[in-house]
Structure 1
């Protein structure tokens, strides 16, 4: 029997908003807490199904919503750490938990007695006058049906085995990727090989080397293919090494290969989809999203790929001309040259060097005078740093969020810096989720992977990192502002191809004049970003969009290609690289100079994250985003009344209604694709 007094995970935290006492939690506490959570949740579900009373919304759906409180609390506490500070002990627990979590939730979603009760309530859902309870019944019934609750016992047994094996494989994929990302970091002892980097970037590289006990400099890798430093490094040899290291992650023959892992994932996902009555995993996934079908996704991606490839080809020609006309020796443009040559073109055509803008983007100022400033102007909320409240890592900063009248909203945690124990990329997650039923305030986390400067030096962001900070904070606002009754609808619990919409909308404030002027101040002089640079940024808005759209579409198409395979076809694929080439040829995006944003062996979004057959959702959501940005521009922009409308009709509803209905309520109509095409320069 687990002793609650010795395990801080087993009791409610007395810290602000129920923030877990991470300083008291040891890795040895997690598995016993999960075991207690599993047992409690099973007993609560068993009590629902054992009831002899006729199934009602209260005794079935509400009781289900109230169940699993301990398991949910422990899970969110653990997975926050396993993604952001995964020690060897935490990784071992993660691997052990994967099949246990899968088996546990399969046991609930495939429970015939529970499905029978939910089905009975679903049949009478018309009697529920409140739309949120009615929608909960519909979503629970759909989730159980799609999960296989209606299958016979033999099929359910097969399904459980598939799910458990997949949970192990996706965890292995992430573990391999983290190991390769760390192992393939580039070590340099001669700073001449890093010519072109600024003093801050060199100091960060030196600090990264020091953390591993190395002399010289260490360039750590990023999740995506193209590394930010490729734009600055003057040594072509160094750029080539960096690109090669990035693309080598997880490949066959390496120390931590992912090719065989992803092939088994693809095959088993296809088998599971077939078992559930779908032609492919993509068909299974999209049937539960706003897209509805793989055909709808494919049609959109193909529509965008043609003009994107055309624009990228024009950009490629322009880059080659710059190289050929330069003072240095001419050479054929390679993938590792693109970012560097792009900055040359940007400087020549727009008198703009984005790498030189970093002194105007000091991280703390961007956060407080940019991200927080825009949120306060739009929504009337305030942010107060709580240095007295510790999170799960010393680098993670905690902020308390209040309404304009001082009433509490929740906590926002920012974990900015990269480290060997953190997975790549950027993301938002919740430690607690708002719900009236649970009487909980939200705690949301934003994670980025910015290089940490040397002690005492400021953190200067690239323009891409500024964009990422605003983007992830859009997710955080969604998590903070949702006001729902049931935990299942809290925060960002919306359709996958809608979840990126609010975060993408929040990016619009980066260049909004009063926001930009407030945060883009020189780190030493405090001078604002010069107006001529602002004008150049505006003028170059669609510059390099052919490349950006093509590399994204290539990754989205790879995701669809893998997951559109039938079980029989998936069993025949053995060569990952060949499959990628054929898939990209099919959509006209096979260009060695423009590799996909993520190649398969390090495509964490779809092989270890929650975006399988769903990476298209970024561009799908961007249709809504671009149309919304147009609305804000037509209605006065950064104004409280505009923020209140967006908050109440979109952010505030969480997942408690169909997301397209929420958009229509806000916009007054369905989304128009024209603003997206214009934004990305794809109109002609």
Structure 2
């Protein structure tokens, strides 16, 4: 996933999770030591302005934020009060240059809050939420500033500027209007209050999710209960328990998704049930981390704000700026896919239930009904029987750094001519973070790339990509990009062996990084992933195709001890099983996506109270035909971080983007696959353009046609009733 986009006027970093107040700077050090100089107050002297993590202290953030806000407000005031008529050069360009200190400071702090939170940073997040919301509104609701933007917007086609500049004017105008620039003063006052409250709620939600993941970890008394886990995984569970002061016990840490990895391995059914129920109870247990009231209040505020801005619902407000354009299009696509996905999941469930009956009968034990905590375990068994392999056979061939360097980097080298060199001289915020120089085929320096791949208690769940420095010709900056996974760290001295899902996620997140690193635009507000939310996942999903591309897989899938390549027979079995369990995966995802839509298609008075949040979710699943107990939503609302962040009313974007992705994979295959020529076309036509051109026009320019849904259906092994099928060239 990507970092949230910023309003053009407030710099990209400002749209991430809100900040909070830090402690006051410490007193000056003793005279024998030089006084500490706040490194955030000026651009980093390191290559490409890479952050000086070893110099930045937590107490540096608050003064830098305060000064950064003050400087940007002064910059904006100067633009607004310019006596000269508005021009692109005296209005839009200085707005693009504004707020550098604030953007720099925000980028570092926001990213650290996700990757390595601590009490001081969490305190900053809480205390600065309102301040930053007020700062954004002070710019976006400035009438004199908006008047200059409006004047340029009205005559944009007569200004004589190029297409990118004209698109930037349109982006500014849209952002300001959507922020409330055209409202009357009373409405602006209400918008400001809503934004402040939502910023504070968002900070609390994110902190609760992190705290609840750690608090809900499952404690196990004996190693015998962990039968099914590898010796390495059991050692990891013991180490996790010891870190909590629980010597002699074992701790199974939770990921932020509903389904937990251990459910596919643990033989102890009672423990699987404990693990599953601990996962789904997060955020709705009535404890200090309960998020139901926050979810309900946020939805009501979003709906109210949308109506103030002239939209029926928050979903209508969001989708107006996406490639989908409206709720009818999104509801239509999700409605087409859901019945097919559920039907496939029910067929898969019948196979699993039959397996349970046979095994229990053979053991002379009473049978039981398939439950959500059984699915992964028996699905893995069924895959092993049908295709002759399971995840445990793959892992020895998927050592993490080998996958990164001989897999992810190798594919990028073959496709785009890139080369990578690890940097060990640059500071990192955690010892496990890897940093690489990235070079173009001609040897020019393209970017710096950071890979933060291990899970830790201070890190939020999931996987995502972000940037510390964005590309811009105007600012003369090159990218410093980062990706984050949550691979469990191995026991000391052991290799890090990945699951296939983790490998696929690594290729996916690197696809986001490529989108940012290949950016080649003039203005920072249009750089990299500054594209519609339902388009941003598309390039990263395309990059997943190289994970099992034969020549790439052969290069990195090597036994971590012997170096032997993965046997061809295992490769063939893995390829044959590609569509296995896709009914479950699709139905689980669609359940979350449809709940997100229904939640954000409510008007203010329709939003349920906190006590009814979970009942609303259950009712939606029932009404949509998705209430199939063995297949829960990928996320439940109290820990659905996407919809409290940039993906509110936008979680559908993954499958919407996958329609584009599946079409593009077909394009690559039709043109010879992993070739420099194809990579160069994809880079020049789409990856380098950021938000400087219309997203779907970029897609059409590449593939030569409008999106078609059939390649996605074929990929997932789904079929749709003929009367429900979209037109051949319909929008996704």
- TM exceeds 0.5? yes
Unaligned runs of 5+ in 1: none
Cα displacement (A) at 1:671: 1.3
Cα displacement (A) at 1:256: 1.1
Task: Confirm or deny that 1:275 pairs with 2:318.
Answer: no
Task: Confirm or deny that 1:475 pairs with 2:512.
Answer: yes
The CA distance in 2 between the partners of 1:199 and 1:645, in whole Å, is 47
Residue of structure 2 equivalent to 1:112: 143
Residue of structure 1 equivalent to 2:726: none
Task: Confirm or deny that 1:102 pairs with 2:138.
Answer: no
Residue of structure 1 equivalent to 2:469: 432
Residue of structure 2 equivalent to 1:586: 623
The CA distance in 1 between the partners of 2:141 and 2:623, in whole Å, is 38
Which aligned pairs between 1:99-498 and structure 2 lie closer than 5 A?
A: 99-127=130-158, 128-215=160-247, 216-326=249-359, 327-328=362-363, 329=365, 330-498=367-535
Task: Tell me if structure 1 keeps the 8 A contact 2:438–2:449.
Answer: yes
The CA distance in 2 between the partners of 1:133 and 1:12, in whole Å, is 26
The CA distance in 2 between the partners of 1:376 and 1:281, in whole Å, is 42
Which aligned pairs between 1:495-644 and structure 2 lie closer than 5 A?
A: 495-570=532-607, 574-607=611-644, 609-644=645-680
The CA distance in 1 between the partners of 2:243 and 2:552, in whole Å, is 36
1:30 to 61, 66, 76: 61
The CA distance in 2 between the partners of 1:300 and 1:22, in whole Å, is 45
TM-score by length of 1: 0.98
The CA distance in 1 between the partners of 2:614 and 2:393, in whole Å, is 37
Secondary structure, counterpart of 2:436 in structure 1: strand
The CA distance in 2 between the partners of 1:548 and 1:588, in whole Å, is 16
Cα displacement (A) at 1:207: 2.5
Bigger mean CA offset, 137-146 vs 332-341 = 137-146
Residue of structure 2 equivalent to 1:47: 78
Task: Tell me if structure 2 keeps the 8 A contact 1:231–1:355.
Answer: no
How well do the aligned residues superpose, as a CA RMSD in angstroms? 1.4
The CA distance in 1 between the partners of 2:564 and 2:37, in whole Å, is 54
The CA distance in 2 between the partners of 1:641 and 1:599, in whole Å, is 43
The CA distance in 2 between the partners of 1:134 and 1:20, in whole Å, is 33
Residue of structure 1 equivalent to 2:89: 58
The CA distance in 1 between the partners of 2:251 and 2:693, in whole Å, is 48
Cα displacement (A) at 1:17: 1.3
Cα displacement (A) at 1:395: 1.4
The CA distance in 1 between the partners of 2:339 and 2:151, in whole Å, is 49
Cα displacement (A) at 1:139: 1.0
Secondary structure, counterpart of 2:453 in structure 1: strand
Secondary structure, counterpart of 1:575 in structure 2: helix
CA offsets 1:460-506 (integer angstroms, 9 cap, x no match): 00111011101100001011111110000112111100000011000
The CA distance in 2 between the partners of 1:623 and 1:437, in whole Å, is 34
CA offsets 1:295-351 (integer angstroms, 9 cap, x no match): 111110000001101000000000000111114432111100000000111011111
Cα displacement (A) at 1:572: 5.8
The CA distance in 1 between the partners of 2:561 and 2:455, in whole Å, is 25
Bigger mean CA offset, 307-316 vs 354-363 = 354-363
Cα displacement (A) at 1:403: 0.7
Task: Tell me if structure 2 keeps the 8 A contact 1:635–1:642.
Answer: yes
Cα displacement (A) at 1:234: 0.6
Cα displacement (A) at 1:591: 1.1
CA offsets 1:332-385 (integer angstroms, 9 cap, x no match): 111000000001110111112123311111001100010000001000011111
The CA distance in 2 between the partners of 1:498 and 1:148, in whole Å, is 25
Cα displacement (A) at 1:255: 3.9
Task: Tell me if structure 1 keeps the 8 A contact 2:470–2:480.
Answer: yes
1:657 to 682, 693, 705: 693
Cα displacement (A) at 1:254: 3.1
Secondary structure, counterpart of 1:541 in structure 2: coil
| Matched pairs, number | 683
Residue of structure 1 equivalent to 2:103: 72
Task: Tell me if structure 1 keeps the 8 A contact 2:662–2:712.
Answer: yes
Cα displacement (A) at 1:539: 1.5
Unaligned runs of 5+ in 2: 1-23, 29-34, 721-732
Task: Tell me if structure 1 keeps the 8 A contact 2:107–2:467.
Answer: yes
CA offsets 1:164-220 (integer angstroms, 9 cap, x no match): 100110111111111110011112231111100112212222232233333232211
Cα displacement (A) at 1:405: 1.6
Task: Tell me if structure 2 keeps the 8 A contact 1:232–1:355.
Answer: no
Task: Tell me if structure 2 keeps the 8 A contact 1:132–1:656.
Answer: yes
Secondary structure, counterpart of 2:373 in structure 1: helix
The CA distance in 2 between the partners of 1:200 and 1:633, in whole Å, is 39
Bigger mean CA offset, 185-194 vs 264-273 = 185-194
Task: Tell me if structure 1 keeps the 8 A contact 2:479–2:516.
Answer: yes
Task: Tell me if structure 2 keeps the 8 A contact 1:230–1:337.
Answer: yes
Secondary structure, counterpart of 2:425 in structure 1: coil
Task: Tell me if structure 1 keeps the 8 A contact 2:292–2:610.
Answer: no
Cα displacement (A) at 1:129: 4.2
Task: Tell me if structure 2 keeps the 8 A contact 1:361–1:519.
Answer: yes
2:702 to 642, 649, 666: 666
Cα displacement (A) at 1:571: 5.6
Task: Tell me if structure 1 keeps the 8 A contact 2:293–2:609.
Answer: no
The CA distance in 2 between the partners of 1:612 and 1:93, in whole Å, is 24
The CA distance in 2 between the partners of 1:206 and 1:574, in whole Å, is 37
The CA distance in 2 between the partners of 1:226 and 1:291, in whole Å, is 29
Task: Tell me if structure 1 keeps the 8 A contact 2:512–2:529.
Answer: yes
Task: Tell me if structure 2 keeps the 8 A contact 1:180–1:255.
Answer: no
The CA distance in 1 between the partners of 2:473 and 2:576, in whole Å, is 47
Bigger mean CA offset, 433-442 vs 119-128 = 119-128
Secondary structure, counterpart of 1:444 in structure 2: strand
CA offsets 1:615-634 (integer angstroms, 9 cap, x no match): 00000000000000011111
Residue of structure 1 equivalent to 2:123: 92
Task: Tell me if structure 2 keeps the 8 A contact 1:252–1:259.
Answer: no
The CA distance in 2 between the partners of 1:200 and 1:574, in whole Å, is 42
Bigger mean CA offset, 345-354 vs 431-440 = 345-354
The CA distance in 1 between the partners of 2:608 and 2:110, in whole Å, is 32
